Amino acid sequence: MSLLFVGFVFYMIHILFPPSSEEEQYSYYQLIHTYNELDFLDLNSPEDRILLREALEIYDPANTTRHDSVLAEIEIYHKNRMLSAAGSRQLTSAIDMDKLLTILNMWLKFAAIYIVVLLVTYYCVETFAVYRFIREKYRLSFYDDILNNLKQLFDVQRFKAKFPYLLNILVRVSRTVLKAIIILVLFAPAYVIAYSFKTRFDTDSFIVMIILGVISNGLLITYMQKYYTFLVSEGRKGYVQTAIVKNLDSRMIFDKKKGIQLSSIFRINKKFPGHIFDQIYENVRFQYLNTLKEQASFLITGLIIIEMALNIQGHLCYELMQNILYKNLSVILLILFGIFVIVKLTQIVIDFVVIRQHIKIGNISSEEVE
């Protein structure tokens, strides 16, 4: 329903504010047209524009502000003409079939990148949060581990016996420094990461866009922390303590024979049979579905910023930025509606999954009662 409503509103805006003609777009169109007809003046040349400016200052010194406006519009006019000659499709206000197909192709490319990044980030958020939750259940904190190794280091007299403890300290410190660097990268804006490696890869690449969408703008680490918070909260509930009392396995250690296996965490379809964490994980995964809508909105905003900030030509949001610059309202509304469709379809799919989960849980409950 909301898709129809928003589409109707955009269509009404398009009707109420029709595309302007070229004469309406430029205040000094007739003057620009007159200057263009002069054989001895090439307004594509910066030097000729400077000469024109000096001539205007000499013959009409009282209208300096007007001369600045004329020269600015001349520059924009010829830049638009050059883009049009090079095959740009932003400059005509009306939407013809070729432009519509071009925008549709860009929209499909944007949607494909969005879907892949959303799936990858969801898997990474879930996997890293689960790994962190289980790891912190049995591992000492950084400071406790360092203090224990330092204590053993000073208690041992022989240097050969001290070496393992020194190595443990070095490894732990190195891992902490590496973790800090990774966190800085994950929080960094996409354009910072991209421009750091701009000479080494093409930012227009489909793969590069996916990588930047996954690791930049704080998306991954922000929602990994939220998922981890859900796990911590769920792990403190009463049914967990009850299950432990009933001797359900609660040893959260990475081991092939006891506890949780490391391979189980990195599976796409995660299962922890016979372990209390299996119930914790299933409940949290269901609770996180509504947060996934927020993650999707955060992601699509990040992709828009990436394409605009990096000036990636041939992509949907760069096209949007160009049409905002050239005030092509029809194209702007079409692209915005396309982005809204992606967001709304994501919410519909997530709501459908939530409803199915509710039905599944309801069926399980009724079967247990019977």
163: which residues sit within 8 A by CB, 6+ positions away? none
Phi and psi at residue 141, in whole multiples of 5°?
-70, 165
213 vs 113: CA distance, rounded Å: 9
Q: Choose the weakest-confidence range: 248-252, 327-331, 363-367.
A: 363-367
% of the chain at pLDDT higher than 70: 69
What is the pLDDT at residue 294?
92
Q: Choose the weakest-confidence range: 86-95, 200-209, 277-286, 336-345.
A: 86-95
Q: Which residues pair with 254 in a beta bridge?
A: 260
246 vs 362: CA distance, rounded Å: 25
212 vs 114: CA distance, rounded Å: 12
pLDDT 10s digits, 141-175:
545 555 565 566 566 666 556 666 667 767 777 77
What is the pLDDT at residue 199?
47
8 Å CB contact between 253 and 138: yes
Tell me the three state secondary structure of residue 260.
strand
What is the pLDDT at residue 149?
57
110 vs 303: CA distance, rounded Å: 9
Q: Token pair for residue 52?
A: 């024109």
pLDDT band per the 50, 70, 90 thresholds, residue 90: very low
274 φ/ψ sector (left φ>0, alpha ψ -120 to 50, else beta):
left
pLDDT at 366 over 50: no
pLDDT 10s digits, 26-36:
566 667 767 77
35 vs 53: CA distance, rounded Å: 12
8 Å CB contact between 270 and 264: yes
pLDDT at 45 over 90: no
Residue 149 amino acid letter: N
pLDDT 10s digits, 301-321:
989 888 887 777 778 888 888
Tell me the three state secondary structure of residue 254.
strand
pLDDT 10s digits, 258-285:
567 777 888 888 888 777 788 889 899 9
The arithmetic mean of pLDDT across residues 45-73, rounded, is: 78
Please tell me which residue, 153 or 330, carries the higher pLDDT value: 330
Please tell me which residue, 21 or 102, carries the higher pLDDT value: 102
Q: Token pair for residue 17?
A: 């504010």
Mean pLDDT (the chain, rounded): 76
284 vs 125: CA distance, rounded Å: 12
What one-character-per-residue DSSP string does 262-305 give? HHHHTSSS---TTBHHHHHHHHHHHHHHHHHHHHHHHHHHHHHH
Q: Which of 82-86, 122-126, 325-329 has the highest mean pLDDT?
A: 122-126
Residue 158 amino acid letter: R
122 vs 41: CA distance, rounded Å: 59
358 vs 368: CA distance, rounded Å: 15
Regarding pTM above 0.75, the answer is: no
Q: Choose the weakest-confidence range: 11-20, 138-147, 214-223, 318-327.
A: 138-147
Q: How many CB atoms lie within 10 A of CB 129?
A: 23
Radius of gyration of the CA atoms of the chain, in A: 30
The arithmetic mean of pLDDT across residues 83-96, rounded, is: 48
What is the pLDDT at residue 257?
53
Q: Token pair for residue 55?
A: 């001539």
